[in-house]
Structure 1
Amino acid sequence: MGLFQDAKCFKGSLCCQLLFLILWLPSYQDVMAEQKQIASSRISSMVELAKAPTVGLFDPIEISPAVMPQYPYPTEPLSPSYPTFPARYEPILTGKCPVNFSDISNILDKTASDCAGPLAALVENVICCPQFTSLIHIFQGFFSMSSDKLVLSSTVADHCFSDIISILASRGANNTIPTICSIKSSNLTGGSCPVKDLSTFEKIVNTSKLFEACSAVDPLKECCRPICQPAIMDAALQISGREFMINNNKNLGGEVNHMDYLSDCKDVVYSYVSRKLLSDAANTAFRILSSCKVNKVCPLTFKEPSEVINACRNVAAPNPSCCSSLNIYIAGIQRQMLITNKQAIICATLFGSMLHRGGIMTNIYELCDVDLKDFSIQAYGIQAGCLLRSLPEDVVFDNSTGFSFTCDLSDNIVAPWPSSSSITSMSLCAPEMSLPALPTSQTLKNMGSNSRGLDCVVLIFSFLILSASLH
């Protein structure tokens, strides 16, 4: 991860220097923590007397203690990493999947790491499921290399899918990945797509055009000026038989499950692409396409913010009651999952639109120092949220630091307040395709307690996995 390459960014801040020191602590230190409450609320310094919310904004991430290793020194200081890795073991396979899994071992390893046991549910939307989906596409194409078929039969798919999950679990992955990611063995069969063999596919589809579009996907351009995505959709339309009807203005709205039908054909196209590319190249392409998809929507669930609306409807200046209510609400959001910087922009705008519709016209994000990172999971101990970069990210395991990944936008970028209750006009594809500008020392003002000591644009974020339940 290059943990010490960015050491200069920690200078000038006592908190960051302490964090830097903590990361050197021995990996055997205890990872069980006591529940802590924050000493003061995250309210502007103009309202120092505001009552702190009863729910800690930056409580540790909570996971069942059943997954936690037990250490002999329960009173020792905490390490900010999860310094153990489940021992590998030989998986029990069905013996009925005619594939040499060692040929795609590197992709299996990457997937197992990205979907590591207790972390899988926290990073499902941005790391685990995109990688697991890519593995399924790659396996489908890899399996078809020895035949004219681009898909698996239902029976073989069941056996191979079972073996894939067993292998991933034997390498430390969460064995409930199919449930977490809503992927089944039927995803390997091509479902209801009418074209499932190579010869028919190559007769219908302009394969040279498809290969040219998807052989080298540009991570900086694909999401806003797509090339591979429309090529895959065109191929799926062609083999599904829908293209002719669309060109003749036929109405597809009345067809049963036509979107599922098209989705099945897209899986066949993915199989063909992965058949033609090396596994690493296919994985890179598929992950970029996934990042384009996940960064278009907010994955968080927002309950009705009635208490926030009641407390903040008529405020025009920093208000203790309003900020406390808002902070308590956001504390619940922070327990959901890790998200990317672009997702955070959409989530902040979506939530702001809900508040706007409730009658809150004042930008309470600014009044109460609500930043983009406040919409993601909070780091234990350093009181800061972690936003992933919008580009594909992987979980990395290191023998000394545990599971980790790089956080982006750890500076305090104020969450965007919508100009209206609608977000239909919002686009992350401006000509420069940039995120909000990073704040400077001149622009930082009314900083809440959450921002103190965090002046690094990028932090290496090693998660500490703690007790209780996931939401």
Structure 2
Amino acid sequence: MNGNFFSLHNSLIFDQRADNLLPETGNPEPLYPLLGPSPFTITNNTAPKLSGLCTLDFDAIDTMMSITATDCFTVFAPYLANVVCCPQLEATLVILIGQSSKKTKTLSLNSTHAKHCLSDFDQILTSQGADNTLQQICSVGPSNLTEASCPVKDVDGFEKMVNTSKILASCGKIDLVNECCRETCQNAISEAAKDLASVSNEFDAMGIRRMSDISTRVINDCKSIVLRWLASKLEPLRDKEALRGLANCNVNKGEPIMLHLIF
């Protein structure tokens, strides 16, 4: 009996001493489990190491860059590449060159300049949490920033060659319901691309360009130039909606100009 009494007494003294070590609070605080950061929270906000050799205006599309970094977040980029990340990445490059052309007056870069700008593009995205191997994941390279085989690349030359009013009227605000059937914007883009591609064509004996000789590759490359010019005339997020509408129409047809711009 005495042994049990002293054991209980000692236990109470120990508990009292332990309580004295705890901070005094009015009410006991509930215990919560420790939670790790959300996988959707971008925590890699490091300063990007830029080349200083790229003239593209990244500030003009800062919201688009943030969206792209989220869509290409390091954990998910390899698994959602073709569904989310890569289409958004390629579309952002189109809009970047288009918006930058307001200052640079060109709709493409030479290969050396393209390498510097693509590197800076990657650095900015990585600093915001995107995967650091996006070029490999999405098969994107400096050629995505050049004119490829299209013979027209400067804004002045573009606007002299094509009916810009028609492009803006047809594509400035796309009717998402009717565009796939009427192809109003798509036809305007194709027509403008053919006008640009015709610059490289030879004249026949009558002094007329042989339109039938224009290759599909050149026309498709010129469609990219048209899209960049269009991106310079619309707000980035509005341009995103236009590209999305065109993409939805071309998915089933398998046309190359917008197939990779779904986002």
TM-score, structure 1 as length reference: 0.42
Aligned counterparts of 2:229 and 2:40: Cα–Cα separation in 1: 40
Q: Is the 8 A contact 1:126 1:291 kept in 2?
A: no
Structure 1 residue 117 displacement after superposition: 1.5
The Cα shift of 1:272 comes to: 0.9
Q: Distance in 1 between matches of 2:180 and 2:146?
A: 28
**Superposition deviation, residue 119 in structure 1:** 1.7
**Matched ranges for 1:432-471 at <5 A:** none
1:107 corresponds to which residue? Answer: 64
Partner of 2:4: none
**Could you tell me which of 216, 239, 252 is aligned with 1:282?**
239
What corresponds to 1:305 in structure 2? none
TM-superposed deviation, 1:283? 1.9
Matched residue, 2:145 = 188
Q: How far 1:84 sits from its partner (Å)?
A: 4.7
Larger Rg: 2
8 Å Cα contact 2:57-2:96 kept in structure 1? no
Q: Deviations over 1:46-88 (max 9, x none)?
A: xxxxxxxxxxxxxxxxxxxxxxx9xxxxxxxxxxx84553421
Q: Secondary structure at the match of 1:241?
A: helix
> What is the aligned residue count?
219
Corresponding residue for residue 121 of structure 2: 164
CA distance in structure 1 between the aligned counterparts of 2:175 and 2:198, rounded to whole angstroms: 29
Partner of 1:28: 35
Deviation at 1:277, TM superposition (A): 1.1
Cα RMSD of the aligned pairs, angstroms, is 2.9
Map of 1:333 onto structure 2: none
In the TM superposition, 1:342-361 aligns within 5 A as none
Structure 2: distance between partners of 1:28 and 1:224: 51
Distance of 2:184 and 2:33 partners within structure 1: 48
Task: Specify which of 220, 233, 254 is matched with residue 263 of structure 1.
Answer: 220
- If asked which structure has higher relative contact order (CA below 8 Å, sep 6+), I would say 1
Q: Tell me whether 263-272 or 113-122 shows the greater mean CA deviation.
A: 113-122
SS in structure 2 opposite 1:272?
helix
Q: Distance in 2 between matches of 1:124 and 1:292?
A: 21
State whether residues 131 and 287 of structure 1, in contact with CA within 8 Å, keep that contact through their aligned partners in structure 2.
no
CA contact (8 A) 1:126 1:294 kept: no
Deviation at 1:199, TM superposition (A): 2.1
Map 1:299-378 onto structure 2 (within 5 A). Answer: none
Counterparts in 2 of 1:194 and 1:251: CA distance versus 1, 3 Å: closer
Instruction: Check whether the contact 1:130–1:287 (CA below 8 A) recurs between aligned residues.
Output: no
CA contact (8 A) 2:198 2:211 kept: no
CA gap 1:170/1:210 in 2 versus in 1, 3 angstroms: same
**Shift of residue 109, structure 1, vs aligned partner:** 0.4
TM-fit CA distance, 1:248? 6.5
- Aligned twin of 2:159: 202
The separation in 1 between residues aligned to 2:245 and 2:80, in whole angstroms, is 16
Q: Which residue of structure 1 lines up, in the alignment, with residue 185 of structure 2? A: 228
- The one-character-per-residue Cα deviations of 1:298-341 (angstroms, maximum 9, x if unpaired) are xxxxxxxxxxxxxxxxxxxxxxxxxxxxxxxxxxxxxxxxxxxx
Matched, 1:122 2:79: yes
d(CA) in 1 for partners of 2:69 and 2:228?
21
Write the letter of the residue equivalent to 1:123: L
Instruction: Determine helix, strand or coil for the equivalent of 2:179.
Output: coil
Structure whose residues are more often helix by fraction: 2
Contact (CA 8 Å) 1:236, 1:269: kept in 2 or not? yes
Q: Which amino acid aligns with 1:250?
A: S
Give 1:381-392 correspondences, 5 Å limit: none
Match of 1:351 in 2: none
Q: CA 1:232–1:96 in structure 2 vs 1: closer, same or farther (change >3 Å)? A: same
The aligned amino acid for 1:198 is V
Task: Give the stretch that moved more between structures: 283-292 or 188-197.
Answer: 283-292
How far apart in 2 are the matches of 1:83 and 1:114?
10
Structure 2 length normalisation: TM-score? 0.72
Q: Is the 8 A contact 1:154 1:186 kept in 2?
A: yes
Q: How does 1:69-108 map to 2 (within 5 A)?
A: 82=39, 84-108=41-65
Contact map agreement 2:57 2:100 (CA 8 A) in 1: no
Asked whether 1:216 is paired with 2:223, we answer no
Q: Residue by residue, what CA displacement relative to the aligned partner does 1:121-152 show, whole Å, maximum 9, x if unpaired?
A: 33222322221121111111122112332222
212, 215, 219: which one aligns with 1:250: 212
Instruction: Give the Cα–Cα distance (whole angstroms) in 2 for the partners of residues 294 and 26 of structure 1.
Output: 47
The unaligned stretches of length 5 or more in structure 1 are 1-24, 30-68, 70-80, 253-257, 298-391, 394-471
Amino acid at match of 2:121: I
Measure the CA separation in 2 of the matches of 1:243 and 1:292: 29
Amino acid at match of 2:35: Y
In 2 relative to 1, CA 130–217 (structure 1 residues): closer, same or farther, beyond 3 Å?
A: farther
